Structure formats: structure tokens, C-alpha cells
Amino acid sequence: MIRIVISVFLLLAFGHLLPAQSRDEWSSIFSRINGEVSSSSMAYKNLQNATSAIGHRLTGSAEGAKAEEYAFQLLTSYGFTVNYAPFEAESWSRGTLSVTINRRKYKAVALAHSPVKADVSGNIADMGNGLDEDYQNSPGKANGKIVLVSLGILPGSPKGLRNLHRSEKTALAVRHGAKAIIFLNSAPGDILLTGTASVTGKLITIPAVCIGNSDGMQLKVALRSKQKNSARITMTNFSGTIRARNVIATLPGKSKPHEKIIIGGHLDSWDLATGAIDNGIGAFSVIDIARTFKALNLQPERTVVFVLFMGEEEGLLGSKAYIEQALKEGTINEIKYMLNLDMSNNPKGFTATTDADQALFKAIGRLARDNDSSFTNSFHPGLGLHSDHQPFMLQGIPTGGVAGALSREALNCYHADCDVFELVNEEELKNTVRFAAMLLYGLADAPQLEAARLSDEALKAALLQSNLKEALKISGDWRWDD
């Protein structure tokens, strides 16, 4: 009985939301999207070509510039007028690194925005998960020490702990007087993780490195033995101002050209591998969704903007530049939704930062499920950080995306030297393209969107409810006085 009531409600809501567009019309369009992607998707082949011919896509590097050009040419070949949106940012790239602990050299990798030059020696303090409570429980323990911190939440930790991003953990270490930070990776074995250790995208004041899980757990045991432990970290890196380019293709809306639905994914990657998962699968899904819209001659009521962001890995640089330009031009209120595809894979449902349009999302999902019953049509509202949706969200703009999953093998290779094309599943990539394309079309074509840009006070309340104040205060993005 409950299921019947819910189904009736959604059908009524669908009819209410689409008075001028019959269900059969959307059903037909979604069926065409499904057929086009299933038979003709180029996402897998294009990503394979990019990883083979270009390699990594580090922002500011020659390879990064080649990736920008590759995306530009692909979108142009599909019939779009494509623009570069250049921006300047502080670039970082690794140089040399040596990590010695108790006279043994450790396999390690530097985290981005570590100092240009450093030579630090000292005793090691195990700070557990590296959360604020770890420092509060051991006042002064980190001061003047090289701290050892877990990237994830350690096994056996109290239940309910909320983890912090590595950049936020680094900021806490600096705040408590640490002279360097050693992260132990959560992935098993000797897999090393890179990524930014800076909350601002600027250089940090202490070296930040990552060692493998096996080495890290053995080191924790040694530290508990009360034997004296010391470490030396020497490194050189490069930092300087570079120019990078977001790649933008626009499909004007039929009747509401000044209302925009943005779909984006970051094109850049770290330099340890080819970034096939992070974020090749997201970026090349965006490109293939654009191809699909052109191939089917789709033109929804609102304008659709396809964006390949650069600089996400080094501090959301491209998406921040996009927002800054929209604020400067006074077009920020034109953005009705931002859909972000970051490591999105094999979706079974949708996500959004607001539940205001839940009925619409569910209605779109029901039609998607008509094409493939494996799509369970879940809907997950909630706010989160650390991807290109964040600058939009912090302006009160509704954001969303698709909800799926990656294999454990792929997740273990996050930001690591094993993030290679062989991890990509072609059918799961097609699923991302077809279901995200349906969501994009539905949002862009619906006669009415209930979600609106939040006021500063409403945004503050939503961020507090999502327990994001601490992380935003650490990063300097909490703009309220309390």
C-alpha cells in the first residue's frame, strides 16, 4: 500500500512539474539517449586515447595544456562553439624527496604545496587520526615534532568520528606546532597517495609526505615501544604562477536562455599516473554527454553549459575562477544547478544539495529506470566539500550529480601511481553517460525548478546542519563571524 501511495504521488508530481511536456515526450527522448550512448558512446575510446597519448594531466604542465587542447578539439568536432576560460594560479610540481626514519629510507611521495625546499629533522609524535580531538587529548605533544597521522580513520577508533581532508589535517598540525607531517595511507600494502596538503592552494610552511600503509602501521608499533624515533625529510619542489584554461561549450536554451544548468568535471589529474579514474571517467563522461546532445539534436528549454575544469586537484582553482568571473559579470543568478561528475561511476541514483526538487529528480529517475531496471532511482540530498561543486555551493547555488560506486581496486588507487586506464569499466562508464545525460536534460527542460539560490543566512544554516563549519573554518572559507 505504501509503495502504491508513493508511486501515485510521484506520478502526480511529475504531471504537475511538466504541464506542457507529456511524459511520453520525455520517455522518447530518454530512450533515444539510452540508444545513442549504448551504441555510439566515445567516452571509453577518447579516455583511452588521452591516457595513452597525453599521460597525466597536471595543471600548468605541458601535459595539462595538451589535455585542454584535446578536450577543446573533441567538443569542436561535435559541433560546439568552444571557448577557453584562462586563469592564473599558483602552480606546484614535485622535485626530489628523501624520507629517512631511524636510519632507514622509506618509500614516500610529497603532497602538493609542500615547501619549495625543506630539510627537517626531529622526533616523531603519533597523532592518531590527526583530528582536533587527538591534539586536544595530548596538549603540546605535536609541538616541535614530526607528526604521524592517518589519512583515514584508524581501525579501533571511537564510533562516529568525522574524518577531515588531508589539507585540513595539515592545517591542524601546523596550528599545533608540528615541523612536518607524515601521512600513512589507508590503502593496503605500499600504495602511495598524493594530493594537496593546502587548504588555500598556496604553499604550506611544513613538509607533508605520504608513506604506505604497511610501513605506517609498523612505524606506529615502533613508536608505542617507547624507543626513541627520529626522522629526516628533505625535499625540493617547484612553485610559480602558471596559466591554465577551463574548457567550455554552451548549448543555448530554447525558451529560457538566461537560465543555466552547468555540468562539469575536472580534467586535470595528478602526475603519478594517468588519472583514468580521477577524474578521467568524470571529465570524459561530460564530453560524451555533450556529444550525445549534439548527435540527437537535443535542445532543452534552459541553456546547458559543459565545463571541463582545470586545477581541481590543486585547490578547486578552475571552479573558483569560474565563480569569480560569474560574480564579476553579474551572471551568478543565472546558474540554476551545477551538476558535478567527479569519479562518478555506474550510477544507481541521483544526489543534490537540496531536496527541493526531489519529486523532479525521482520522476527523471523513474523514466531512466524504464530504460534499465538496474537503475534503482535512489535520491541522496546533502552537502559536502572538496570537489568542483564546492565554490558553487558556497554561493548558495543548488548542486547535484549521480550516485554510483567504484571497485575497491579503483578506490585503493585514488591519487596513486596505479590510477591507470585498465581500471576503467566500459559499460559502467556508459552508464554514467546515459543516466547523467537524462538527469541533465530533465533539469534543463523542466518548466519549473523549485530549488533556488540560498541567501547567506540560509546557506549558513545548511552548512551548520551538515557539520561543515569546522572544515570551512580550517580552510578559511567560513565567512560568518561565529
**Mean pLDDT, residues 307-336:** 97
pLDDT attached to residue 227 = 72
Give the confidence band of 7 by pLDDT, cuts at 50, 70, 90.
very low
Name residues whose C-beta falls within 8 Å of residue 79's C-beta, 6 or more positions apart in sequence: 294
Share of the chain above pLDDT 70, in %: 95
Q: Please state, in angstroms and rounded to a whole number, the distance separating the CA atoms of residues 16 and 370.
A: 20
pLDDT attached to residue 482 = 78
**Cα three-residue angle 289-290-296, rounded to 5 degrees:** 85
Q: How is the chain split among helix, strand and coil, in percent rounded to 5?
A: 40, 25, 40
Decide if 19-90+241-451 and 103-228 have a common fold: no
pLDDT tens-digit map of 218-255: 999 999 987 778 999 999 999 999 899 999 999 999 99
Give the confidence band of 110 by pLDDT, cuts at 50, 70, 90.
very high
What ranges do the domains of the chain cover? 19-90+241-451, 103-228
**Mean pLDDT, residues 295-321:** 97
Is residue 159's pLDDT more than 60?
yes
Average pLDDT, the chain: 94
DSSP per-residue string spanning 333-364 = GGEEEEEE-SS--S-SEEEES-STTHHHHHHH
pLDDT attached to residue 423 = 98
Q: Please state, in angstroms and rounded to a whole number, the distance separating the CA atoms of residues 444 and 437.
A: 10
Q: Report CA-CA distances (Å) from 127 to 224, 313, 475.
A: 12, 26, 20
pLDDT attached to residue 18 = 52
pLDDT tens-digit map of 40-92: 999 999 999 999 999 999 999 999 999 999 999 999 999 999 999 999 988 89
pLDDT tens-digit map of 376-431: 999 999 999 999 999 999 999 999 999 999 999 999 999 999 999 999 999 999 99
Contact between residue 124 and residue 218 where contact means Cβ atoms under 8 Å apart: no
Please state the φ and ψ torsions of residue 239, each to the nearest 5 degrees.
-145, 140
Is residue 458's pLDDT more than 90?
yes
pLDDT attached to residue 225 = 86
Burial of residue 476 (CB within 10 Å: 0-12, 13-18, 19+) is: exposed
Give the confidence band of 4 by pLDDT, cuts at 50, 70, 90.
very low
Is residue 309's pLDDT more than 80?
yes
**Mean pLDDT, residues 11-27:** 60
pTM of the model: 0.94
Q: Please state, in angstroms and rounded to a whole number, the distance separating the CA atoms of residues 17 and 443.
A: 11
pLDDT attached to residue 21 = 53
* The amino acid at 187: A
- Of 21-30, 146-155, 286-295, the poorest mean pLDDT is in 21-30
Could you tell me the fold of the domain covering 103-228?
Answer: Glucose Oxidase; domain 1 (3.50.30)
pLDDT tens-digit map of 188-213: 999 999 999 999 889 999 999 999 99
As a CATH number, domain 19-90+241-451 is 3.40.630.10
pLDDT tens-digit map of 340-350: 999 999 999 99
pLDDT attached to residue 229 = 87
